[in-house]
C-alpha cells in the first residue's frame, strides 16, 4: 500500500469518526410547534389575494379568495411616508395603480387617492376593475376583516432604509395589539428583518426562513452533517427551483418535516404542479389561482377520508 493511499484512508477514517461522533452527541434540533400550523392537511394561501383573479393586494382580491375557501393569504408589506403598514409588494406603485411614486415617499391619503384596479385585466382582456374604487389596504384592516385567516406577512422594506429600520417594531406592536400572534407568520428575504422582528416577538410569532436560512438548510441537507443543522425558522416558503438546484424533492421536504418545519411552495398555478408537490410532502400551496388550488385540496381531503 502506497504512502498516498495510507494518508487517504487515514483522512477518511478521521472524517468517518468525526461524523459518527457528532451523530452520537447530537439529536434532531426540531422547532417547537406553533399554533398557526395546527392543520392536518395541505393548505392554500392566496398569493397577494390571488392576483390572477383580481387586482393584487386589494380588498376585492382578498374577498374573492375568501369566498373560494382559501385557508389564508400570502402578502407583502411596506411602510408609507406617514408610517402606516401597507399591504403592498413593489417599491413603486406605477405597476398596479394609475400613477407613479415610491410607497415610502407617499402618505396613506395620497395612496388612497389612486386607482389600484387600473392595470388589472381579466381573462377576457377587460379592465374589469378600473374605476371601481379599488384602493390600498392596511395590514390592520386585513387582520380585522379576516380574523379566521392564516396570514403570511413578508417584510419588503430593506433593513438599511429608514422605513425598513422601523417596520419590525411597528409590525410587532400591531400584531400584539390585535392578538394575532397565533395566526400569522412573519418572514422576509432579508434574514436581518426576521431577526429584528423576533427581538420584539421573542418567538411568540411563527417565523419564515430568509434567503440565508434556506441556503444554510439546503447545504446541511446535502452534506454528511445534516443532523447538526439548527433551524431558526418555523416554516419554509420556497420556489420549486433556485438556480440549478431543485428544492422540491421528497427527501428535502422530509428533512425539514423531521425538524417540525412545514414547507410551502410559491407561486404554483398549474394543477399538475400542485399535485406533484402535495405528493412530495408539501404542506402548503401559494398561488395566484386559488380557484384551482382549493378544488384540488378539497379532492385530496375527500380521498383521504
Strands 236-238 and 206-207: unpaired
Only one residue has cell 431543485, namely 246
Q: Which of 41, 57, 71, 89 is catalytic?
A: 89
Q: Give 3-state DSSP helix, strand, coil % of the chain, rounded to 5.
A: 40, 15, 45
Compute the residue count for the chain: 305
- Nearest residue to 73 via CA among 167, 139, 166: 139
- Measured CA to CA in angstroms, residue 301 lies from 40, 87, 187, 278 at distances of 10, 31, 28, 11
- Nearest residue to 98 via CA among 63, 124, 136: 136
Give the DSSP letter string of 123-173: TTS--TTTTS----EEHHHHHHH-TTSEEEEEE-S-TTSHHHHHHHHHHHH
Task: List own/partner pairs for 79-83 with CB under 8 A and 24 or more apart.
Answer: 79/103, 79/104, 79/157, 79/163, 79/164, 79/166, 79/167, 79/170, 80/104, 80/106, 80/107, 80/108, 80/111, 81/105, 81/106, 81/107, 82/107, 82/108, 82/109, 83/163, 83/166, 83/170
Annotated catalytic residue 227: no
Q: Which of 47, 57, 71, 264 is catalytic?
A: 47
- Active site amino acids: 47, 89
Amino acid at each position: 500500500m502506497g504512502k498516498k493511499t495510507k494518508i487517504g484512508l487515514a483522512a477518511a477514517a478521521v472524517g468517518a469518526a468525526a461524523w459518527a461522533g457528532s451523530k452520537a452527541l447530537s439529536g434532531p434540533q426540531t422547532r417547537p410547534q406553533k399554533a398557526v400550523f395546527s392543520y392536518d392537511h395541505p393548505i392554500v394561501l392566496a398569493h397577494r389575494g390571488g392576483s390572477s383573479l383580481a387586482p393584487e393586494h386589494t380588498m376585492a382580491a382578498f374577498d374573492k379568495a375568501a369566498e373560494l375557501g382559501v385557508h389564508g393569504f400570502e402578502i407583502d408589506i411596506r411602510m408609507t411616508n406617514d408610517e402606516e403598514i401597507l399591504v403592498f409588494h413593489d417599491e413603486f406603485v406605477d405597476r398596479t395603480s394609475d400613477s407613479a411614486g415610491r410607497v415610502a415617499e407617499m402618505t396613506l391619503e395620497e395612496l388612497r387617492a389612486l386607482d389600484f384596479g387600473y392595470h388589472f385585466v381579466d381573462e377576457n382582456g377587460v379592465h374589469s376593475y378600473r374605476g371601481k374604487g379599488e384602493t390600498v389596504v392596511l395590514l390592520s384592516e386585513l387582520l380585522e376583516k379576516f380574523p379566521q385567516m392564516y396570514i403570511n406577512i413578508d417584510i419588503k422594506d430593506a433593513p438599511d432604509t429608514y422605513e425598513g429600520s422601523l417596520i419590525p417594531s411597528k409590525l410587532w406592536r400591531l400584531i400584539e395589539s390585535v392578538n394575532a400572534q397565533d395566526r400569522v407568520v412573519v418572514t422576509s428575504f432579508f434574514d436581518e428583518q426576521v431577526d429584528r422582528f423576533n427581538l420584539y416577538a421573542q418567538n411568540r410569532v411563527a417565523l419564515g426562513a430568509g434567503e440565508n436560512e434556506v441556503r444554510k438548510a439546503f447545504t446541511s441537507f446535502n452534506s454528511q452533517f445534516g443532523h447538526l443543522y439548527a433551524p431558526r425558522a418555523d416554516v419554509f416558503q420556497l420556489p420549486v427551483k433556485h438556480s440549478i438546484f431543485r428544492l422540491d424533492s421528497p427527501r428535502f421536504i422530509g428533512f425539514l418535516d423531521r425538524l417540525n418545519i412545514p414547507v410551502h411552495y410559491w407561486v404554483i398555478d398549474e394543477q399538475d404542479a400542485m399535485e406533484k408537490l402535495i405528493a412530495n410532502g408539501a404542506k402548503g400551496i401559494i398561488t395566484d389561482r386559488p380557484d384551482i388550488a382549493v378544488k384540488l385540496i378539497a379532492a385530496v381531503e375527500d380521498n383521504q377520508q
